[in-house]
Amino acid sequence: MALPRCRCPHCGARALWWPAALGASPARPARCRECGGLSCATLWSQLVLGYGALVFTLAGLILPFVMASAWALAVAPLGWAGLALAGRHWPLQKTTVEAAIQAQRRAGRYVFIAGGLLALMLLLAWLG
């Protein structure tokens, strides 16, 4: 059985494995098996995937208590599966190695800043 593939924005071939294309970001792009071009998901598709996963996760945690039904536990996995299937059809955009390196550096700075803020909050909570 052939695995489903996504279309490469560089050459147009269906050579990108869809889980790799779904998780492709500017910092971790997916590589085409045919032409070797790098591509990542668009910003809008990343936002839909991130917020959709958050909504389905929270709904899967809250709905079983609100509805008092074990069937509500199926909300999160079914929602995630729907997002993954929809992700097979989301557009990809071209990117380069230089853009990926720049995005990795930017992400590293954000993680450093977030870690510093977390350490500051923990220190203030410990002192308070």
Number of domains within the chain: 1
* pTM over 0.75, yes/no: no
Answer whether 32's CB lies under 8 Å from 46's CB: no
User: Where is pLDDT greater, at 15 or 82?
Assistant: 82
104 within some domain: no
46 within some domain: yes
**101 contacts: CB under 8 Å, gap ≥ 6:** none
pLDDT tens, residue by residue, 88-117: 777 888 999 999 999 999 989 999 999 999
Residue 33 per-residue DSSP state? T
Q: What is the mean pLDDT of residues 19-38?
A: 86
Report the pLDDT value the prediction gives residue 1, as an integer from 0 to 100: 47
**76 contacts: CB under 8 Å, gap ≥ 6:** 56, 57, 59, 60, 61
Q: Burial level of 110, CB count in 10 A (0-12/13-18/19+)?
A: exposed
Identify which of 42, 38, 27, 3 has the alpha carbon closest to the alpha carbon of residue 105. Answer: 27
124 within some domain: no
Rounded to whole angstroms, the Cα distance separating 73 from 63 reads: 8
